[in-house]
Every structure is written in C-alpha cells, then in structure tokens.
Structure 1
Amino acid sequence: MLFGVTDRGARVWLGIVRTDKPNVSKTMECLSRSLLIICFFLAAPFSWAETTSEIGAQPVMQERATIAEKAEISALPAPVSDNMSPPDLVAATPQHDMSPYGMYQSADWVVKAVMILLLVASGVTWAIGIAKQIQLNLACRRARHILNELLDSETLVEGKLRCDSAEGAGLALIEATEKELALSARADNEDGIKERLQLRLERVQAGLSSAMIGGTGVLATVGSVGPFVGLFGTVWGIMNAFIGIAKSQNTTLAVVAPGIAEALLATAIGLVAAIPAVVLYNHFTRGVSQYRALMADISAALMVLVSRDLDREPVSIDGKKLAA
C-alpha cells in the first residue's frame, strides 16, 4: 500500500491491471498518463522557484523606483505659494546673486549695453575732470604771475622784460600788444591806437577762453543725458521682468524683486555718471570765468601801460618812438 492506495487500486488507476485479454490501447494510454505525471513533478520545483524570485524582486524594484522619484522631486524647485511663510518662501525661491556684479551678469543684453555705456561715460567724465583741473590751476597760476609783473611795471618795455621768463597764455596778450603797436608805428591818433589794441586783445581773450573751456561740453552732455540713458535701461529691464512674471505665473515679491533690482541698477549707474559730471561742469564753469577775468585784468594792465607810454611819448613795445 502506498499513500493509502492498494497495489491493485494503483494498477487499476494506471490501467495496467491484468485482464483476461490484453488491450494495447489501454496500455499506451496508461504510459502517457505516467509521463505527464512525471513531467509535472519535475517542472513544479522550477516554476515555484521562478515565481518566488519574481515575488521577492517586486519590493526591491518598487523601492528603487520610489527612491529615484524622490530624488527627481527633490531636484525640482519647490512650488511657491502666496500662503507660504517667509522661511518656506526663501527656501522655495531660487537664490540670486544680488551683488552689483551678479545683477549685471543676470541682466538682459540691452541693459548690459546701457550699463557699459554709462560706465565708459563716467570714466571719461573723471578723466576730463582731472585733466581740466590740472590745466586750469596751471593756467591761472601763470596768469596771476604775469598780471603781478605787469602791475609792478612802470612802462610797457619794463613789463615785457619782466615777463620774458614767464609762461602761460598771458604772453599771447603781450605779443598781440606788441604786434598792434608795430603795425601802428606810423599812426598819429592815440585814440585809434588804443581802440585797435583793445579790439585785438578782446579777440585774443576770446580765443584763450574758448581753448580753456574745451572738453566741458562732454561733462554737460553726460550730466544731462546720463539719467535718461539709465532710465531707458531700467524701463527695458522692468519690461523683461514683467515678461518673466507672465511666463512663470508667479507674482510673489521674491520672484519679482531680482528682475526689478537688475533694471534699477541701470538708473543707479546713470546717476553715478551724471551727478559728478554736473558738479564738475559747474565747477569748471566758475573756474573758466575766473580765468577769463584774469585775462581781462592782463589786458587792462597792458592798456594802462600803453596809455601811460603814449601820454609820455609815443613809443612801441620795443622802445622805438612812434611817429608824431
């Protein structure tokens, strides 16, 4: 007996019980059943192992997929909501470099061009300011020296000798006086000589003043146009900031502020360029006015010396007598 089945019963089930008459078809049928049973028991362990491995691998795959999804979600910027608290809002908003250089790097190319133009204008303003201040100080100091020498002179010849070693634009006035007296050597009208000399000195003064004021027009241009150029960059930058707000569908201050700050930087640079330009222009306007006054004083001193000499006797600047 095997598993509670008698030997005869197993043989009856398998169909191999002896009968009085042999039956070949029944024997073949019994053999095929036996082969199927054997194949079933041989394949069952492999099928069970494969099923078990698949069931055990499913939690591992699910865990790996969950970790990958979490990593992707953490890499994305956190959504920004109007109801978020300030610490959460700071954590969820992408950080921007709010230093001047960082804002310049993040600005639009038009805003960058405006900033570069204004910085160049500011550099030119300071270069002109330094050069013009040195030129004006030197010219005024030389003009005062010539004026003092002429005021201390009794005659025109003495004044010329005192100023031979001097330098500066005042010498041009002395040369103009000498030239006019030389041309008027045969003239006998003292009033005509004085009038012609005064006209010539005025023209020389105008030329010297024009040369001294050169370059200050750039300061006036930068001072008047600089703020408007910066304002153009600001308007352009704010327009781009609003376009970015429309694309991001977010109006929180943390998102809006960086773009607006970058735009306002252009106006700040414009003011940095314009304010010193205006101050320097006004300063040099006053300085040139003082220089023009010194030139007028030198001309007046020359006219006094010429008039004094004409009252004594008609002489030219080289000491020669004029025609009576």
Structure 2
Amino acid sequence: MVLRSAQSEVTTRRTALFWASWLCAAALILVPAVMLIGNPAVLRGHPLLPAVLVTAAVVGLLWAALLWRGRNVRLRRSTLRAVGAWLGRAAILVLVAILAWLNPFAYQAGAANAGPTAEISVVESPTAITMLPDGEQATEGLVFYPGAKVEARAYADILKPAVDAGFLVVILKTPLNLSLLDGNQARGAMSDHPEISTWTVGGHSLGGVSASSFALANQDVNGLLLYASYPLDSMRDRVGMEVLSVSGSEDGLSTPEKIDASRELLPVDATFVEVQGGNHAFFGNYGPQPGDGEPSMGRDVAQQQISQATVASLTQREGR
C-alpha cells in the first residue's frame, strides 16, 4: 500500500513537470510570436530585439519537438535533479515575462506641429532615423536617445521643427529599446556625419540619462537637451555646454520634484522650461504610459511648446 502511494506521488510529480515543460515551451513560442506579429515597432526598431525573440521562439519549438518525441519516456530523477528542473522552468517563465515587458510602445501618428514646415529628407537604418533639411547642408546636429521601450519613430514629429530650422537630427534605435545598453551609441552617429561641426545630444526619460552621461564624458558635445529627464551624476563643473531641460507639470514619472532636484546636478546656467499641464508621454507620440500623470492640456498644444523651446534653444546656442 505504501509502495503504491509512493509510486502515485512520483507519477503525479512527473506529470506536473511534464505539463510545466509544455507551458514553458508554449510561452517561448507564443509571446515572441505575438510581439513580432502584433507590434510593428518590434521589426522597425533595433535588430537585437527581433533576433532575441526569434531565438526564443526557435528554442521553444525545438523543446516542444523534444517533449513530443519523448512523451512516453519516464525518466527517473533524484530529488536534487527534480528541484533543479523546476527551478529551470521557473527561470524560463521569468525570461518570458521579461520579453513580454520589453514589448515597445509603438509610434502613434499625431497632428503636425503648427507653423511653417520645410521639406526634409528621412533616412532610416537598422539603428537610427536620420532627418536632414532637404536641399541645404546642415552644420549643426542633434543626436536623440528615445525613452525606455519607446519606438524611435515616436519622436520624429516633435523633433521635425528642429530639422525645419536647419539642424540634422538623428534619432537612435537603441538595443532592446533601452538606451543604457549602449550609452555610447551617439558616437557612431556623430562619426557618420563629419560635416557637422556642432553637436547637441538629447533624450527623453531614460534616454536623457544616457545623453547626460555621454555629454559628461565627451567634451566635443556642445549642448544637452533633456525631455522629462535628469542626469545621474553631477554635471555642475561641465564647461562649454548649454543645457535645456523641458518637463511637464503633470508628469507622474519624472515628477516636478525630481526635475527641481536635478538643478543641483546641472550647470548653473541651465535653462528649465515647464510645460503647464503636460505629462511624461507628451514628449513623444506613443500613447499613454503606465504610472504617468493626468494631463490638463492637449497633446498637440504641449508638443508645440516643447518643439518651440527646443528650436529656440538650438538656434540661440548657435547664435542665429
């Protein structure tokens, strides 16, 4: 009787582990498939995320094939191996959860900024979107780091007025849509455009953190543009660089209190502009963002103010 009970318990554990394995394999297949098919931002962004998703899906398919082939095989496992098997499957589910979390905020077309616009040229590569004035040679440029999990295209509309004003603008496509994974990415964009003599680096939210660190470490950066962001390290002694910090009064992520605290980290002559009624997601066109504050003004009005402050800072910096 005791033997039968022990055998039944072993069978139950094996069955549970078998179905847990199928769950992991299915998750490895389905989550990447949904992201690749359902979110156009995945394939339009940096190639690392699609590569990771495809790899995960292939691993899931191979695992499912092995499970099907060995469905009638009953392996004897020690307690230690059984614990290791369960921990391994738990780790896979955590990995799948991370992949799901990396699903980016896709570009959502917004109304064009008010005011005159000029024809521009747009060149898109696997790692950047480059916008430049059509028919004229730009000598000043802006390299921009997107916010965490935000598609690069989401910033094209709000930065287009800078291109209209004669600036070359490069919006980076960051690895896994996390700029901290390659904080030096701006250097590649700058090297690709030797005709540009004056560079500003900027970024939104986490992208602004990366831009700040890059500007602090590279003396050939002339300006820093922060959208709802602030540096991690003090830049108070960084000379020869003008700073513009634009924020929203209703930002629930980079709150007004955090922006105010960043004054001690930035040069004493840094310029601060607060968009009254604007929130965190208004600095790009990608829809609402979890944890953000409730805006008290329209997105189009806020973005017009953000663009105007950006252009005014860039043109003043260059003495235009």
| TM-score, length-scaled by structure 1 | 0.21
Q: TM-score, normalised by structure 2?
A: 0.21
Q: Pick the structure with more helix per residue.
A: 1
